[in-house]
Amino acid sequence: MYQIMIIEDDAVIQEELSVLLKSNGYEVILPKDFFNIISEIQNNPPHLLLLDINLPVQNGFKICSGIRTFSNVPIIFVTSRNTDMDELNSIMLGGDDFITKPYNTPILLARIASLLKRTYASEHAEVLKYGGVTLHLENSKIEYQGELAELTKNELKIMVYLFRNAGKIVPRADLVEYLWDSQLYVDDNALSVNITRIREKLKSIGVTDFIRTKHRQGYLI
């Protein structure tokens, strides 16, 4: 699942972009402060950056220049500045695309998808592996010894969370909150139903006891 960092100081626009991206299947990273943007990118590198120009501490041009000293991560400038010189500077300093506010949502999503596809097309499809089980994020399938089962959107999100916390007990409340933030609206009862369905699908490909229930604690793989 692709992770996109939003470097935007306007809280309303940041929230709008965050909801838009999550509802379209992306994970979102929001910088904690504008004094350590470069360090945050180095410590938690995203697959793509949405970068404003007018920012506190240092502007988007300087941040872009700094990123290009160590990373070729795709960068889309999303800004209210709309002169030819702004666009030229963004490209000259290493930006990959330039979109002005107010942006057209379908066009922004199309530009993001296109840039991700061009950048990562040569890499193998994103997968997560644990205990001999492989989760294919690109086509929502789970695999064991060559046998495949297809997961629904909710089931895939649950498994992604469990894979990324493999070896740890994941509280039910954390899973529900994670799914709710992803706009999937899964309540506690629905979570139980989804877990049951996932276990049935795992069983159909020869995997049993992969998701263990920890009484009054949560789930563990």
DSSP string, 72-89: ---EEEEES---HHHHHH
pLDDT at 72: 85
DSSP secondary structure of 19-70: HHHHTTT-EEE--S-SSSHHHHHHHS--SEEEE-SS-SSS-HHHHHHHHTTT
pTM > 0.85: no
Read off the amino acid at residue 33. Answer: D
Alpha helix segments (H runs only) across 126-171: 153-164
Q: Which tokens go with 14?
A: 């940041």
Q: Specify the pLDDT at position 117.
A: 84
Q: Which residue has the tokens 């949560």?
A: 218
Q: What is the mean pLDDT of the chain?
A: 89
Contact 200, 208 (CB under 8 A): no
Q: What is the pLDDT of residue 108?
A: 94
Instruction: For the chain, list residues with pLDDT below 70.
Output: 121-125, 181-186
Q: Which two tokens stand for residue 214?
A: 């920890």
| d(C-alpha 135, C-alpha 142), whole Å | 5
Amino acid making up residue 73: V
Dump pLDDT digits (tens) for 181-192.
655 666 778 889
What was the pLDDT predicted at 43?
A: 84
